[in-house]
Amino acid sequence: MVRLAVVGTGWQGQGHLTTMKEINDIQVVGICDLNEEMLKKAVNKFQVKGFNNYVEMLEETKPDGIVICTPPEVREFLVREAAERGIHCFIEKPPAKNLEMAKKVDEILDRTGVINSVGFMYRYSGAVAKTRELIAGRRVALVRSAMLDGLALRPNWPRWFFDKERSGGPAFDQAIHIFDVSRYLLGEVDQVIGYQDNLIVPKGEDFTIEDSFSVTMKYTNGILQSHTHTWSYPGVFTQIELISDELHLTLDLAKGIVSGKVDDIEILFESKDDALYCLELEAFAKAIAENNQDLVLSTYKDSIQSLEVALKAVEALESGTKVKI
């Protein structure tokens, strides 16, 4: 049994708590939030001891691992206090607010040697694994991706997501998933350029982000990708389309399906198990139980590259110029 504690009991923290209830090998031993109301709700719902003091929780419950579900500016202290006690760290995406913080967190993880994982859950998708297999040794030339979501249309979504200073908007907070899974499939990004605007939800006092953007990226291996993103779409649509003279595949990340053609052969693969949050938490727990970092598909060190792409995309969108990575 792997004993985990959770810090941050908001949307994602409660999501992970719900998921972990269904995983036999995980026992949640403590939860922490600075917001008393959030904490109380989670304690009542999950019947786990609550703490408003993180260090006190670590000292009292002595968990094997911590699941960090706070906003991205709250990472370094939480990782340091856990890792220096030998407590393994699962860290929600984005891995940090900026590169400086990410490097400090990375140094702590290197020094302490604890198992680490970043919440890029699409890496655990069977459809992503199948796509990697299908494109291995074949040419990909063009990529068309889109992530369409309705966060800006949801009245009850945490407001910090719409504060540009805190969340970075869709390009930083959410497109980082696409940047990460695209890197996992295609390689490293070299340059990015793009446009952003408020196309549906206008800016206001507590809405300082642009709700939509479009970027073009050039990879070091020459691949060109255009990515379209909005938080003002009344549904969920997440696809990456891979195109060349050898293949034409559509990877539907929301549905866990990859379809199309490779060398004129029709492909239709539907992943049987795409409970992605469950898979990433199971992998973290197993990595702890077996003391094997290799079971984790998204290490902190690798996630820093995805963070860099997201930060440069934001820079390109803000400046309206081409940015080199």
Ligand X SMILES: NC(=O)c1ccc[n+]([C@@H]2O[C@H](COP(=O)([O-])OP(=O)(O)OC[C@H]3O[C@@H](n4cnc5c(N)ncnc54)[C@H](O)[C@@H]3O)[C@@H](O)[C@H]2O)c1
For 187: left if phi > 0, alpha if psi spans -120 to 50, otherwise beta; the answer is left
Residue 55 or residue 262: which is nearer to ligand X going by CB?
55
Q: Which stretch binds ligand X (CB under 6 A): 30-38, 100-108, 206-214, 220-228?
A: 30-38
b/e map 66-89, b = 16+ CB within 10 Å: bbbbbbbebbbebbbbbbeeebbb
Question: Least distance in Å: CB of 102 to ligand X?
Answer: 13
Please select the residue that binds ligand X; options are 6, 26, 38, 317, rule is CB under 6 A: 38
Cα-based distances in Å from 318 to 52, 256, 266, 309, 324: 37, 33, 41, 14, 14
Residue 134 or residue 180: which is nearer to ligand X going by CB?
180
Where in 147-186 is the site for ligand X (CB under 6 A)? 158, 160, 173
For residue 50, state whether it binds ligand X (rule: CB under 6 A): no
Residue 64 or residue 92: which is nearer to ligand X going by CB?
92
Distance CA(299)–CA(233), nearest Å, equals 31
Please select the residue that binds ligand X; options are 46, 54, 213, 300, rule is CB under 6 A: 54
Please select the residue that binds ligand X; options are 30, 50, 63, 72, rule is CB under 6 A: 72
Residue 32 or residue 58: which is nearer to ligand X going by CB?
32
Q: Which stretch binds ligand X (CB under 6 A): 67-75, 108-116, 217-225, 314-322?
A: 67-75
Q: Which of 37, 53, 47, 39 lies closest to 8 in space, CA to CA?
A: 39
String of contacts with ligand X for each residue 88-107, x by CB under 6 A: ----xx--------------
Where in 118-147 is the site for ligand X (CB under 6 A)? 119, 121
CA torsion sign for 268, 296, 6, 71 is negative
Residue 74 or residue 134: which is nearer to ligand X going by CB?
74
Residue 77 or residue 195: which is nearer to ligand X going by CB?
77
Tell me the residue ranges of DSSP E strands in the chain.
2-7, 26-32, 50-51, 65-68, 88-91, 116-118, 142-148, 189-197, 212-219, 224-230, 237-243, 247-252, 257-262, 265-270, 323-324
Any residues with CB less than 8 A from the CB of 236 and at least 6 apart, and which? 148, 149, 150, 254
For 304: left if phi > 0, alpha if psi spans -120 to 50, otherwise beta; the answer is alpha
Please select the residue that binds ligand X; options are 74, 143, 201, 325, rule is CB under 6 A: 74
Task: Give yes or no for a contact between 315 and 180, defined as CB atoms under 8 angstroms apart.
Answer: no
The DSSP-derived string for 135-152 is: HTTS---EEEEEEE--GG
Question: Least distance in Å: CB of 95 to ligand X?
Answer: 9
For residue 8, state whether it binds ligand X (rule: CB under 6 A): yes
Q: Which residue is nearest to ligand X (CB)?
A: 10
Q: Which stretch binds ligand X (CB under 6 A): 68-76, 178-186, 254-262, 266-274?
A: 68-76
Q: Which two tokens stand for residue 11?
A: 């949307």
For residue 35, state whether it binds ligand X (rule: CB under 6 A): yes
Question: Least distance in Å: CB of 173 to ligand X?
Answer: 5
Q: Which residues bind ligand X (CB under 6 A)?
A: 7-13, 32-35, 38, 54, 69-72, 74, 92-93, 119, 121, 158, 160, 173
